[in-house]
Structure 1
Amino acid sequence: MEMAHQAHQFAMLGRKQLAIQEGIALLQSAQMDLASARASASAWGIVGVMANVTLIPLNVIVNSFELKGASSLYQVVVHELYGKFAKSGTRLEDGHVKTMLSLLKQGIVAELKRKAMTDYIPGVNILVGLAEDSYAAWQAAALVESGNREIAALAVDLDRKIRAASQQLIQLGIKRAEILDRLQIAARTA
């Protein structure tokens, strides 16, 4: 009777070992996928940050057109593209900063118009646009950093789970070996 119970335990532990091995294989596959996603996210994160950074000088160029008005076809095209896709302030996620910079700009422009100093308005547009674009670039960098931290935490968690499952697999192997020894002793003495 005891031998049948031990044989049943031996088989049950074997099935558990198989399930754990399959789980480890799935976790390792997820780990490889995460490493690939991490590399891709890092590359696209750099592209996103650099895109925001390269828009900063574009602000100066576009707003400096206002000094004489857009006279060439190139200036008109750049101004239109910038207005639709990259205008300062359009990429800001923080509503408070966006509102504050907008109100600051409106106040300064209103005061310059009141004092008939409209020649200085493009300079104000440039400075406020630089602040908006710089803040948007900083936000993009912070988002990339946050994503990198999240992916790193997932990688650590996966590694921890793989180590724990491997340790459990070892423990099951030890128990199975002990049961096998008892079964072999019982078989020889029977």
Structure 2
Amino acid sequence: MSRKQQRGEVTVERVLDAALDLYAREGEAGLTVSALTRASGVSTGSVYHHFGNLHGVVGALAARWLGHLLGELSEALTAHQEARPGIEAVVRTYLDFVRTEPAAARLLHSPFADREGEARAAEIRDNQEARISPMERWLNAHRAAGALVDLPTPVIEALVLGPVVALARRHLTLGDVDLEAAAHRLPDLVWRSVAP
């Protein structure tokens, strides 16, 4: 990698780190190009060069954290040979991510991320294929073996992640959910929804 490419990567990382900090403190409204250049020390021209516009910054930031979350979920699921511990690990891992990375979780559960997900679903899936495929193979194998309910994989994914995402959104918006307490009960309840 050339020095110019290395500098470019450093610039991108600085902008994304600053963007998440701004998003955590100010929300989407506080994330402006001028605030971003002040916080990151990167020039306006560099922001536009690397990201195209502010929308590109937020999209790249969401993609970065989605990849991180999917990586953790994939690792948690595929680390288990048996279905129940794998499903329960996914639930606990997701809740732990929301608890330990609240700014990133807030971004991933934001209206912006929802709009991006709808508009660019195929592209996002292609970009995250390396993280998604092992989870799909694991689910398909356990379903075929009779260790999971005989439903299409997307339905199983919805049964597992739907309640977790809803709980995460409520925690992030209202703050009235104790994630640690939920992590004790929810894995078993989710497992029951996909048990054979």
TM superposition score category, shorter chain reference: under 0.3
Report the structure, 1 or 2, having the larger helix content: 1
Superposition TM-score, scaled by structure 2 size: 0.24
Q: Larger relative contact order (C-alpha < 8 A, sep ≥ 6)?
A: 1
The structure with the larger Rg is 1
